[in-house]
Amino acid sequence: MYSRILILRFPALVAQKPIVCYLTRDYDLTFNILNAAVLPRKEGVMVLELSGDKKKFKEGVRYLKDQGVQVDYASQEVQRDKIKCTHCGACTAVCPTGALSIQRPRMTVRFNQKKCSVCELCVPACPTRAMEVHSINQTFFE
């Protein structure tokens, strides 16, 4: 199974169409929406994890581009420096996906990187700068 996190940008004319659901029906791909928003000018942004057969994945990405969707591969990831982290919990208040949470009863910050949508809201929220953005190496194909 092939899986990647994609950042999709929908122009205003396309943002209201159910384009993503066709990835499942027509290309047998599964998706997990990690974050989505419709912006003030009606354009849309979505971060999703897309999974399936590599050939079908490539066809699905081509379909998205043919529909006018800008497709970018997430080339960064958020990491937590465990030495700098004081477990204050400030990052958990801004995390939209629940990737950062307080583990009770120990009251420590837990970071589930698989849930992270790389929105980077935790980076400026962290007073000790324990949350950092790093480039990741991925093999891309068009």
**79-132 maps to CATH 3.30.70.20:** yes
The mean pLDDT of 110-124, rounded to a whole number, is 86
The distance between the two most distant Cα atoms of the chain, rounded to a whole number of Å, is: 50
Whole-model pTM? 0.57
Residue spans of alpha helices (H) in 31-107: 54-66
What percentage of the chain reaches a pLDDT higher than 90? 53
Model pLDDT for residues 69-115, shown as the tens digit of each residue: 999 887 778 899 999 999 999 999 999 888 999 999 999 999 998 88
Q: Where in the chain is the domain with CATH 3.30.70.260?
A: 2-73
The more confidently predicted of residues 43 and 138 is 43
- Residue span(s) of the chain under CATH 3.30.70.20 come to 79-132
**CA dihedral defined by 34, 116, 109, 123, rounded to 10 degrees?**
-110
CATH superfamily of 2-73: ACT domain (3.30.70.260)
